[in-house]
Amino acid sequence: MFSNVKSWALGASVGAIGLLGTAAQAVEIEYWQYFFEARVTAMDTLIENFEAANPDITVKMTHFPYADYRTKVAAAIPAGEGPDVVQLFYGWLNDYVDAELIQPLPTDVFPPDRIEAEFFPMVSAMRRDDAYMALPTAVRSLALFYNERLFEEAGFAEAPKTLDELIEMGKAMTKRDAAGNVTQVGLTTGMTGQDHHWFREVLTRQFGGNPYADGYRQVNYNDDAGSKALQFYMDLEKVHGLTQSGFMDEAQAAFKAGRAAMHIDGSFRIGALNDTRGLKWGVAELPAGPDGTKSNYSSYWVNAITTKAEGEKYEAAVKFMDYITSDEAMQVWIDTVGELPAKPSAALTEANASDPIYGPFIRGLEYANTTIFANESEQRQILVDMVSRVELEGQSVADSLAAAAAAEQALLNEYYGD
């Protein structure tokens, strides 16, 4: 259904062409991203296409393990080293802007009115004053991956459509050995994965709440809805026994190994699962809440031009940015990685929306919310700690939820107060 296209020619936008002029002197720029095999493969293809169309520009790609990535970037750019174009999670934007690691995109090549007309609205979080600081090639949403073989064994013909069905089907597909040890989970869980997004933007809304107020500056989940959402999440293991915290260390590893019937993850996981031999899997939209409410979380990684890029390197970086945010680049990305095009014109076609793999993610974008983070990693850790206090210390759901809300509000107050 999807095909790679290598027809960009010299066709950067008129603005980019004007910026570069007719200079033919060779220039090399550096591109950095974290290591995720499908993303590296996709960028290899994009770089190959770009260099073929621009023989006077060479793009050198460097990638690092995710755990080291932000530290490497933060150390390199102020020293005048490292990337000219950098990939970053949208939730890190404030940190990168405040640290002066990236610079605004030129408005002649990336006019804000055109960006807002062509991209999904969530991209507006990248705007600062009259310019955009960064742009995505692709966007993500969440969906429910399910193991077709385990479903067939349990006699289930389709994925759960509600949270109640999720519980009942998950219980039926959980297995234990003679000693009572869990050998197969009905559903993977873990706040270090995608569950912190599932809790915030999905479960709290499905139980009647709104996780934040005042443009994500006010924590709003310490209420009855938030308490019900957290209780539901904790009960998956403690009451219903259909999951186990830390099972096989990583949730996605358990699903890939065929030891989990269901797994909530982002569309970026498609490429890795496609390469998993012997695994039969499908995708469904996230189960609806108690009153039928649908909700989802959307996110994206963006590319930005760093403050290190100057002169001819800056000009080349602009041209490269123009290509990797083009429709052609988005098609390569969905082919290779499975992440969704950042433009509705490319994503929300009838063929895409009805595709059995991409369709559930694309339909999920229609009712998704994007969390605006002050500090994504710290806000995630607060929810990790929230669950740990209940699991390991026996703290009540209400008390742990209140502590998490207070800690996150203090973080937001400190950030926005500055």
The mean pLDDT value for 395-418 works out to 94
- CA neighbor of 388 nearest in space, from 223, 233, 225: 233
Contact, 56 vs 23, CB < 8 A?
A: yes
Residue 11 has pLDDT above 70, yes or no: no
Reduced to 3 states (helix: H, G, I; strand: E, B; else coil), residue 28 is strand
pLDDT in tens, 287-324: 999 999 999 999 899 999 999 999 999 999 999 999 99
Extended beta strands in 250-328, E state: 262-266, 281-284, 296-299, 301-306
Banded model confidence at residue 186, pLDDT cuts 50, 70, 90? very high
Q: Which residue has the tokens 């002649």?
A: 108
Residue 406 has pLDDT above 50, yes or no: yes
- Angle of helix 397-417 relative to helix 224-238, nearest 10 degrees, comes to 130
The mean pLDDT value for 171-193 works out to 96
**Topology at the third CATH level for domain 141-298+373-417:** D-Maltodextrin-Binding Protein; domain 2 (3.40.190)
Tell me the residue type at 69.
Answer: Y
214 CB neighbour count, 10 Å cutoff: 10
Structure confidence at residue 2 (pLDDT)? 38
Banded model confidence at residue 345, pLDDT cuts 50, 70, 90? confident
Structure confidence at residue 261 (pLDDT)? 98
CA angle (319 as vertex; 316, 322 as ends), nearest 5 = 150
Q: Secondary structure of the chain: what % helix, strand, coil (to 5)?
A: 50, 20, 35
pLDDT in tens, 67-99: 899 899 999 999 999 999 999 998 888 889 999
What CATH class does 14-139+299-365 carry? Answer: alpha beta
- CA neighbor of 357 nearest in space, from 301, 299, 281, 302: 281
Among 81-90, 107-116, 263-272, 380-389, which is the least confidently predicted range?
A: 263-272
Reduced to 3 states (helix: H, G, I; strand: E, B; else coil), residue 56 is coil
Structure confidence at residue 416 (pLDDT)? 87
Q: What average pLDDT does the chain have?
A: 91
Domain spans, the chain: 14-139+299-365, 141-298+373-417
Residue 16 has pLDDT above 50, yes or no: no
pLDDT in tens, 113-123: 999 999 988 89
251 CB neighbour count, 10 Å cutoff: 24
- CA neighbor of 330 nearest in space, from 102, 119, 182: 119
Share of the chain above pLDDT 70, in %: 94
Q: CA-CA distance, 368 to 382, in Å (whole number)?
A: 22
- Identical fold for domains 14-139+299-365 and 141-298+373-417, yes or no, is yes
pLDDT in tens, 232-243: 999 999 999 999
Residue 171 has pLDDT above 90, yes or no: yes
Q: Where are the alpha helices (DSSP H) in 303-375?
A: 311-324, 327-336, 344-347, 350-353, 358-365
Q: Who has greater pLDDT, 366 or 182?
A: 182
The mean pLDDT value for 206-211 works out to 97
Structure confidence at residue 18 (pLDDT)? 45
Q: CA-CA distance, 403 to 385, in Å (whole number)?
A: 10
Structure confidence at residue 24 (pLDDT)? 52
Banded model confidence at residue 209, pLDDT cuts 50, 70, 90? very high
Structure confidence at residue 100 (pLDDT)? 94
The mean pLDDT value for 196-202 works out to 97
Structure confidence at residue 223 (pLDDT)? 97
H or E segment to which residue 67 belongs: helix 66-76
The mean pLDDT value for 126-134 works out to 95
